[in-house]
Structure 1
Amino acid sequence: MSTALIILAAGKGTRMRSDRPKVLHEVAHAPLLHHAMRTGAGAARTIVVAGYGADTVEKSAHALDPMARVVIQADQLGTGHAVQQAAPALEGFEGDAIVLYADVPFIRAETLGRLTEARGKADIVILGFEAADPARYGRLVMKDGQLERIVEWKDATEEERAITFCNSGVLAADAALLLDLLSEVTNDNAQGEYYLTDIVEIAHTRGLSVTAIACNEAETLGVNSRADLAAAEAAFQMQARAAHMENGVTLTAPETVFFAHDTVIGPDTLIEPNVVFGPDVTVENGATIRAFSHLEGAHISEGAIIGPYARLRPGAEIGPNAKIGNFVEIKKAQVHQGAKVNHLTYIGDATVGEDANIGAGTVTCNYDGVSKHRTEIGARAFIGSDTMLVAPVRIGDEAMTASGSVITSDVPDGDLALGRAQQTNKPGLARKLFARLRAAKKE
């Protein structure tokens, strides 16, 4: 059966104290909205209900899924009203609809699968959770496997408040039935809003079956404030660290390593303390990432060693057994197998050939103030310390540059290039200058 995903993303999130829509705040370098969208990846239709900051929410949704349909809830009149705004995008759709919340980022795809499975036995399925501290959550009142009603805390009796099975807000139903039930929901309540949960009572009056299934409470973590955002980040990182270690990655100080939502790391990789992974990083088997390194948009091949204190920026391609050392920055560059860039160096818009050695303090001068230019360094080349490579320039295979050179022209294979000004020594001048400076200081 086809499934449509309806993601509610219209709220401003006033408790965030931000001009940015709440659903665009990030966990693990991805907007909350993207986490919810990925949960339902593969749905026949993805519908995002936007409101505050709708233009930016739409842009973000389409960045992940260009086929996502964005509808607008101009007035914030409750969750039921929000789902109703999806009606035009559901026109002609036959199948189930699952309602998710963009500020609840950790619902798992497996959980949605169980919702869909449960729909085979009930007209409406609500997702609940056993709460360690039920607090003011709505309670799910069950009887003989059926959901009798959802009771809000403020309306609950003492007996009902003792229930620990709570409402997550997520539900699944036939799409046409869901919209039909919502047409009967009223706003006759203190808030003057149309509540999605009211469809349960309406369904019972029609003789429809309603049930609830449980997920882990951790999946239902909602984000409404900066403190919630920090808690969500911590929850993601704890889970990611455990997953990577379970998959054969060594973390010597797990609590100090931070992953992005899409970090991929092969078995037998060693990650030392205080390493940060930005988006789009892949590390192959057996690599080593040393302490205090920052990586984003990079691919690291088997056996490579990165850091300590290295920075890999987008477009960095590090070949097998290559070494990128301390205080080295690589950007939009390919460092091939066995090459070494060990100290205090910037390599940008460049290719470094196999087994080349880049001396300390080398800089590829890739930007002329208007355009970027490439540097090509051949296989087994030796770049002397403190060499400035003024792009565009090519250093041939097995070529060499002398330390302190400024290289502005290509160096053929096997040649040695010297680009230094000629040194001149002035006999005794240093002593005279020091004497003059000391005398001036005493005056």
Structure 2
Amino acid sequence: MDRRTFIKAGLAEYAALALPVLGGCGGGTDVVVPGPAPGPACGRSGFAMGLSPATTDMLAQIAPRDAVGFSAAATNVAVSALPSPSYFDLTDGELLGRYGFPAGMVPPPSSQGNLSSCVAWGVGYAAMSFMRALETATLAQTVDNQASPADLYAKVLAREAGNGCGNGTYVRDAMDVLVDTGVASLREVPYSDSQCVRPAASARFTLDGYHRLAVADTAAIKSALSNFNVLPFGMQVYPDFQALRGNLVYQHAASDRGCPLGGHCMALIGYSDERAAYRLINSWGSDWGDRGYAWIGYDTFARVASEVYAPYLQSRRGPDTFVESDSAHSGGVSALRAYSRPWRSDASGKWATLYFSFLLDDAMVLTGYKLYFYPTNREPVELGGASNTQVLRGSLLECELPDDLFMRTSASGYFVLNLTGWSRTRQRVNLAIFSRFPDPNGR
């Protein structure tokens, strides 16, 4: 059940759904592959960058997209069996028009100047501005509708103890700020590369959560992009990338690893199978690349990128099958919304995938989750779970279902998500979020 399906069907209430924070229901082994190990740096970068690359341990704490599903032998099944289209570009006005959206939801390329603030530009200005435009049906073409990279950079520096103006930052910390705190608009906090500002009280731009993707998982990255997501990523930059000009596909030979210039954060906005490349937006101004954009080959991306993330912002207008209960409140955190729906496989016609989304009234630090089906008048069935450590306010969970689930239980009851972790006031949180099945409204 991807957003392209609902958008084509004209169901506007689904237009702002995003891909999951919690990538699957499984507890299988998740192997984290570290980014490229560059050789000694050579020369000085011609452009400012500022990425502090995530460590393997940091990546392991973030919920993945490719978690194992219900059984150890089966991988996570996409919500929709529809394959990703061969081409998708969030700046292509004609393509967006087919889905009922205007061009202009991605902000225009701009420049970070001489400040090492690329993470704030890739995560905040590019990805967050787009997500809010999608949710609010606005265009990210004015400073009122663009997240301030200056405010995000200031808040990330404040979050990273001991860090200071002019230094690089972590993508994860920027994502956490957007979930936990939020940032001001570019009109409220203008950007200048000659100074760092104080964090603003404004929080107009917020996320509900995020998850990571494997840099070599082209299918998952394409699926995320074609489901209307802008994906922040970090990569190792080489001189040939800085020198890129025109509408070319950037390719960096696997054998050429001798001259890295440092880490840089940007955002993916599309892809083309014909070109075997992703489309990206940079923060080096419109004179670089193709007017501030560029193409990067799938294979090259898998080699030079170290991390890529999908932000999550849940629609407040979509269906809701949440059931109020005492267990939906714990540690000062309460569940506000939930929706569950199983989907059949297009190939076999059997139940294949569960879609479960939820929204909390405040951010929490998640440490673990489990998902159950409570059939009417029968024993509950555990569907899976995992342990992670990350900040979230909401999530969309995809989980593989055993095809005989509703044969050995009743076909009605509740899907229940158990979340454990900590509140922002350090209270222990143990929530059980009930979602009625089937949907009494027939959706």
Same fold (TM over 0.5): no
In terms of fraction of residues, the more helix-rich structure is 1
> What is the TM-score of this pair, normalised by structure 1?
0.24
Larger relative contact order (Cα-Cα within 8 Å, sequence gap ≥ 6): 2
Larger Rg, first or second structure (1 or 2): 1
